[in-house]
Structure 1
Amino acid sequence: MTIVHKAGNIHKNADGLSRWALANTPDNPAYVPLEAEPQIPIEGINITDIGTEFFEEVRESYKQDKNCHILTSLLDKDCKDTSLVNALDEVWKNSYSEGRFHLFDGIIYHRTKHYYVAKLCSRLLIDTIIHECHDSICSGHLSKDRTL
């Protein structure tokens, strides 16, 4: 038995699935330029009982911390003041020069390899987050004693 392909009269035009994808380059008629400003991807969502008051406290705590206060000034107006940058501690200065800090709704976020973390500078706020994520009855990360 031999199988022979015989072209039919229907669907002689190529559909979108049968074409090779073209590179997104300027010589492609369907070229879409990439955005100049990178967007922050959402890789996970965590829902807690933390209200807006907590975030107001975070913003207020930045005024008490030297590095956070300087970073807020630099990032808020996209300022390039070298005297402000030089006033940062060395670790903070390096992260700033690498573009690892972002300001969103007045909260400083630090970018690591795969995610962004809100920067907290008050011990009270850090303890509040630890309680909310580990010890609260609504949290999903209870200690081993409560899990077993």
Structure 2
Amino acid sequence: MNSTPPEIVEIEDSHGTVKKIIKARKIRLNCKDQRQYLVIFKNQTAEKHQWLEEDTIPDGKLHLRRLRASRRAEKYHQ
């Protein structure tokens, strides 16, 4: 039994690399409130900024943590 291993296929992220999340908003979709975030991608123009749900943002938890920390810092310095 001489079988070759399966080919490794890399899935490329369709959005690119996240630079920063700058805003959050709540919208109502299918009778449910959902939160979306305005995402800025590296090396992209402003037209490429997108409103995305947390689970579709590459490294979303990390970037949301940074957004929340920056908001706390703004409140503290006011």
Larger RCO (CA within 8 A; separation ≥ 6)? 2
Where is the strand percentage greater, Structure 1 or Structure 2?
2
TM-score by length of 1: 0.17
Larger radius of gyration between Structure 1 and Structure 2: 1
Where is the helix percentage greater, Structure 1 or Structure 2?
1
TM-score by length of 2: 0.28
